[in-house]
Amino acid sequence: MRTTDISGYLVRALIVLLVAGIAVAPVLGEEQQEKDLSVFRTDEGSGPGAAAPDGEGTAIVMTSAGPIAVEDLVPPYPPGWEPSRSPIARDGGGLYPATVFDPLSSTLILYPGWNLVSTPLWLADGHDTIAVFDEVDTAGHSVLWYNGSSGWEAMSSQEEFIPLEGIWIYANGSYQIPLYFKPVEEQTGATKHLYPGWNVVGFYGLSQESARDTLISLRNAWATAIGYDAGTQEYEVSMIRGATGSHSDQRLMFPGKAYWVYMTEEATLVPLKATKDYHDLDYPQVGVEWVDNYDFNWQNPLSQSSNTSRGFYNTLVEEGGWIPMFEYGDHNVQGFHFTEAFDRQYIDGVDVALSASHGAPNFLVLSGVGDFMEFEDCSWGDNDLEWIFLHGCHTTNTSVYFKNPRAMNGVRLVCGFETEGWDMNDGAALAHELLSGSKVVDAWFNATEITHYPPIRVRVFGETLDCRDEHIWGHGSQLQDDPPVDSQVYDWIHACQY
């Protein structure tokens, strides 16, 4: 039965509401995210200047000058120059910094005074040094670079200007600096090692991203990130990891800019966007999502989704050297992490992903009441995802949900259960199988066979027959080229055995 015309309007209205919900979800979601700052947190300090960024106590870091609230951390200024105004912007200031990169003309915009800039991509040969700024009247100031381990350094015109490195440059007037990028196929991965204390980090990529997503590979090692508004010549409001409100880590970082990032320990920054297909082998990335707890009382809570996911994640990271990109659990798991509009920052932003929760042939069950993630809303593999494990019942029971319209849109293998599955901890075993050189499909079969037995059946969907032979990056062979995406799907079913 089709709906009447009025319901058609309602469907559209519901879609509008859904879209609106998705739009605000990141903001709402952050209210519930874990606030597990590796820095100290106190319950005092509700007075001016020590207000908690999230209202739950003040985040404290230990510095050479003693303990200090993260919110009060002030990054260095170029030597010999002090700002005329407040050393750091407070609430209400610096939230809308001046634009420093024009993507249409690929130009950096310099404002009179000091500028903190970076190149968003690798520059073409002959245009990849500080010489691109040779025409700028610096009023006698050196171009400066901040070494996170040793401090300020002056840069010569011959030195490279590369992604993730931020430079300070003084401009005695306004300038537009054209940048000439390498072609897409020559854009390689970019990483930067960061040290405890202050570091300057350039923003990688041509589209803005939240601080949380931009710095996600640093896990809990970063405390705060602060931009510099060349238009006002002062620092912006800080973005504090795990914070909400004006200091939220959901605030955006922008192409062409660079940021001070305060680290509590060493870590390597690997931008999510930096490794798409070009350097999968160099920087293989993993992400996991899991649900143990459900808001509805008829749904049995699970105990092993988190263990399976963390076992998988930590084993690949600690024993395999994979780059840890995200681990979201319970209410921090959002449908938009999987679905087409935003997946490239989450599921489709890594090479291998695992999701563990209750499931069904056409959806995963998330924590909230009525919170389902439907496969038909997904488009995996058109960005980066090669392999995904769906540890939930019936997740690979019916291929039509992955091919109609296009959940499998470049992803090579989707591993799941044809029948129901059980709440078992098999993530670490799966990772060990993968790291020991098992094919992806064999690893899934071997790992689930340890914890399941008749009549349970596992099943894997493959884009092509040859996908069956793939291994994860660094532990065996892969297809030479991306598999063609068509309406056909191959599958392998294995009856779990004693």
Tally of CB atoms within 10 A around 69? 21
Choices 38-46, 65-73, 176-184, 362-370; region in contact with other proteins by CB under 8 A? 362-370
> Binding residue for other proteins (CB under 8 A) from 361, 381, 410, 483?
361
Min dist CB 415 to other proteins, Å, is: 13
Region of 70-78, 227-235, 242-250, 461-469 interacting with other proteins (CB under 8 A): 461-469
The alpha carbon of residue 7 and the mean position of all alpha carbons in its chain are separated, in whole angstroms, by: 38
Q: Does 105 sit near other proteins (CB under 8 A)?
A: no
- Tell me how crowded residue 57 is: count the other CB atoms within 10 A of its CB: 17
Q: Which helix (H) or strand (E) holds 6?
A: helix 5-30
- Closer to other proteins by Cβ: residue 238 or 448: 448
- What CA–CA distances, in Å, run from 104 to 107, 127, 129, 378, 409? 8, 18, 22, 30, 29
C-beta atoms surrounding 34 within 10 Å:
12
Pairing of strands 58-63, 252-253: unpaired
Q: Which is nearest to 460 in space by CA: 451, 473, 447?
A: 447
Q: Cα–Cα distances in Å, from 49 out to 52, 63, 118, 452?
A: 9, 18, 31, 56
Determine if 441 is a binding residue for other proteins (CB under 8 A): yes
Contact between 422 and other proteins per CB under 8 A:
yes
- Cβ proximity to other proteins: between 166 and 392 the closer is 392
Is there binding between residue 297 and other proteins (CB under 8 A)? no
CB distance 128 to 278 below 8 Å: no
Q: Does 450 bind other proteins (CB under 8 A)?
A: yes
CB-wise, 194 or 411, nearer to other proteins? 411
Are 443 and 434 contacting, i.e. CB atoms less than 8 angstroms apart? yes
Assess contact for 122 and 267: CB atoms under 8 A: no
Q: How far is the CB of 358 from other proteins (least distance, A)?
A: 4
Query: From start to end of 165-315, where are the E strands?
Result: 167-171, 175-178, 192-194, 197-202, 209-210, 222-229, 234-235, 239-240, 252-253, 258-263, 267-269, 285-290
Amino acid letter at 131?
A: A
Q: Rounded to whole angstroms, what are the CA distances from 393 to 135, 356, 374, 412?
A: 63, 10, 14, 21
Q: Is 313 in the site for other proteins (CB under 8 A)?
A: no
Interaction of residue 494 with other proteins, rule CB under 8 A: yes
Tokens of 163: 């992604």
Kindly state the smallest distance separating residue 162's Cβ from other proteins, in Å. 38
Distance in Å, CB of 122 to other proteins, minimum: 38
197 binds other proteins (CB under 8 A): no
Is 303 a binding residue for other proteins by CB under 8 A? The answer is yes
Q: How far is CA 197 from the centre of its chain?
A: 22
Question: Which range, of 167-175, 188-196, 325-333, 465-473, touches other proteins by CB under 8 A?
Answer: 465-473
Contact pattern for other proteins over residues 314 through 353, marking x by CB under 8 A: -x---x----------------------------------
Phi, psi angles (nearest 5°) of residue 258: -130, 160
Stretch that binds other proteins, among 42-50, 217-225, 329-337, 446-454 (CB under 8 A): 446-454
3 contacts other proteins (rule: CB under 8 A) = yes
Contact between 65 and other proteins (CB under 8 A)?
no
Candidate segments 26-34, 230-238, 340-348, 415-423, binder of other proteins by CB under 8 A: 415-423
Q: Is 491 a residue that touches other proteins (CB under 8 A)?
A: yes
For the beta carbon of residue 205, count every other beta carbon within 10 angstroms.
19
Residue with smaller CB distance to other proteins, 73 or 390: 390
Identify residues 265-284 at the interface with other proteins (CB under 8 A). none
* Residue 282 CA: distances (Å) to CA of 189, 224, 411: 8, 28, 19
Among 13, 20, 62, 95, binds other proteins (CB under 8 A): 13
Interface residue list for other proteins (CB under 8 A): 1-4, 6-7, 9-11, 13-14, 298-300, 302-304, 315, 319, 357-363, 365, 372, 391-394, 397, 399, 403, 417, 419-424, 428-429, 432, 441-442, 445, 450-451, 453-455, 465, 468-469, 487-495, 497-498
